């Protein structure tokens, strides 16, 4: 049967390439993945999955870091104009993107696979024939490949369903970038009966992995919180009546300096970054409004909490110092990724035993970069006694992720489909 999985992954590969290139040409930012959602939903319905879209995927109040209403509407209209099926698009309007799909096939375990749908606010510089047609938006993290692989694994397991018993669930998660969508999907409750949860990420090959193809599980990605701080003061004529104004400028400047001075934590790595500042209306007016986008990270959920508490206190304190107000909103966040060791071992064993051309690393867990909000889904499953793992699919990428020349070699999708369908089949087989 594993040979059949390998054969089917090879047969599906041209379609995976076509899907990936289509998504790559029409990339969509977080909560705006209207065409991508419609594409995935349509294919899953054709495969006979029960498909959920709309507010059932991400409950309304649980979505973090939503773009402005007007941006959501413009993106929705663009998807319709570019030919996404109207029937699929309707329930998504207003940023209700993402797909949950289920195929129940007799008694047995519940196995799930999650991929992510969104692209990044970058202008592509790859020069590829299928480069982005949306100015300023680019798939530079491989999520186009993840979505194509997930649809491939779904097709393979659906074709082979006579050989397994149980339930297969698929999650096409919106808004992974900025770690905004994971918590909402976890709160849908869709994962609450899942026994085994897999995710996957295409990952630039580094020195410790040598020429291996896969790290069975990631661990220790940084926990993170994204904050938006909005400052409000009082405008006045900067020359005639400066004493009547309350400027947000000195408050924001003091806050930035103090944020970079948060004492380091002895428990492990931490990060703080102020990534965007916007304030004031003109040279001769006391600035009465300002906005700051910042993030903190920590090696553990606890260290991240320490950083977040300090950041919130500094923002409030700096505002108070200047007699202005500061409203802080959480724009995203994720705990640290911790793969379950027994599931990592199973991934390694299935590859070694059944797919000798897919070489896993000798170690079960390796560090991933940055942060990843699949951790919300992993925590949800582990808290109910299930296992979760986040394998890294290693590839020689053209440039680092999140940069304008990023690209990955497409055959990694065949490796991914084979390994993922293989492990899911191993869990579900009769
Ligand atoms: Zn990314
Ligand atoms: Zn990513």
27 Cα to the center of ligand 2, angstroms? 14
Instruction: Please work out, in degrees rounded to the nearest 5, the angle formed at the alpha carbon of residue 182 by the alpha carbons of 181 and 188.
Output: 95
Burial of 347 (0-12, 13-18, 19+ CB in 10 A): buried
Q: Do 349 and 389 contact (CB within 8 A), yes or no?
A: no
364's enclosing H/E stretch is none
223 Cα to the center of ligand 1, angstroms? 14
- Marked catalytic residue, from 88, 177, 209, 295: 177
Domains present along the chain, CATH in parentheses = 2-221+337-428 (3.40.630.10), 223-333 (3.30.70.360)
Nearest to 382 by CA among 390, 391, 370: 390
- Model confidence at 253, in pLDDT bands (50, 70, 90)? very high
Which tens digits make up the pLDDT trace of 67-93?
999 999 999 999 999 999 999 999 999
415 Cα to the center of ligand 1, angstroms? 20
33 Cα to the center of ligand 2, angstroms? 15
Backbone angles phi, psi at 217, to 5 degrees: -155, 145
Let me know if 211 is a catalytic residue.
Answer: no
Judged against a pLDDT cut of 90, whether residue 103 lies above it is answered with yes
Instruction: Record the pTM.
Output: 0.90
Place of tokens 């896969």: 214
pLDDT at 300: 87
CA pair distance 327, 52, nearest whole angstrom = 35
38 Cα to the center of ligand 1, angstroms? 22
Which tens digits make up the pLDDT trace of 382-417?
999 999 999 999 999 999 999 999 999 999 999 999
- Marked catalytic residue, from 116, 124, 209, 308: 116
Let me know if 177 is a catalytic residue.
Answer: yes
pLDDT at 370: 76
75's enclosing H/E stretch is helix 69-81
Protein residues placing their CB within 5 Å of the ion ligand 2: 141
Judged against a pLDDT cut of 80, whether residue 208 lies above it is answered with no
């Amino acid at each position: 049967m594993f040979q059949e999985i390998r054969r089917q992954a090879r047969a599906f590969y041209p379609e995976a390439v076509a899907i990936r290139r289509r998504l790559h040409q029409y990339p969509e930012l977080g909560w705006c993945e209207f065409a991508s959602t419609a594409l995935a939903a349509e294919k899953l319905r054709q495969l006979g999955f029960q498909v959920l879209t709309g507010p059932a995927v991400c409950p309304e109040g649980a979505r973090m870091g939503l773009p402005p209403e007007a941006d959501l509407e413009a993106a929705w209209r663009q998807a319709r104009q570019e030919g996404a099926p109207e029937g699929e698009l309707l329930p998504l309007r207003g940023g209700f993107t993402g797909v949950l799909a289920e195929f129940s096939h007799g008694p047995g375990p519940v196995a799930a696979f999650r991929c992510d749908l969104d692209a990044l606010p970058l202008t592509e510089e790859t020069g590829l024939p299928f480069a982005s047609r949306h100015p300023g938006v680019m798939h530079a993290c491989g999520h186009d490949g993840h979505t194509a692989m997930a649809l491939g694994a779904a097709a393979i397991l659906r074709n082979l369903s006579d050989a397994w018993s149980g339930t297969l669930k698929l999650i096409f998660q919106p808004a992974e970038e900025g770690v905004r969508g994971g918590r909402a999907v976890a709160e849908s409750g869709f994962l609450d009966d899942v026994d085994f949860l897999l995710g996957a990420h295409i990952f630039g090959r580094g020195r410790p992995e040598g020429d291996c193809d896969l790290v069975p599980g990631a661990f220790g990605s940084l926990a993170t919180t994204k904050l938006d701080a909005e400052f409000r003061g009082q405008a006045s004529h900067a020359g005639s009546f400066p004493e009547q104004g309350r400027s947000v400028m000195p408050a924001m400047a003091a806050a930035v300096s103090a944020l970079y001075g948060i004492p380091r934590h002895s428990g492990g790595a931490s990060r703080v970054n102020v990534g965007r500042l916007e304030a004031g209306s003109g040279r001769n007016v006391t600035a009465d409004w300002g906005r700051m986008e910042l993030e903190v990270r920590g090696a553990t959920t606890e260290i991240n909490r320490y950083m977040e508490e300090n950041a919130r206190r500094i923002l409030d304190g700096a505002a108070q110092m200047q007699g202005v107000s500061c409203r802080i909103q959480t724009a995203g966040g994720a705990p640290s990724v911790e793969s379950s060791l027994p599931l990592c071992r199973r991934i390694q064993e299935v590859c070694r035993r059944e797919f000798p051309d897919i070489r896993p690393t000798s170690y079960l867990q390796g560090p991933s970069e940055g942060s990843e909000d699949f951790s919300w889904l992993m925590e949800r499953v582990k808290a109910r006694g299930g296992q979760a793992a986040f394998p890294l699919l290693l590839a020689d990428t053209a440039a680092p992720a999140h940069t304008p020349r990023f690209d990955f070699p497409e055959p990694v999708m065949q490796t991914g489909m084979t390994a993922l369908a293989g492990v899911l089949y191993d869990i579900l087989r009769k």
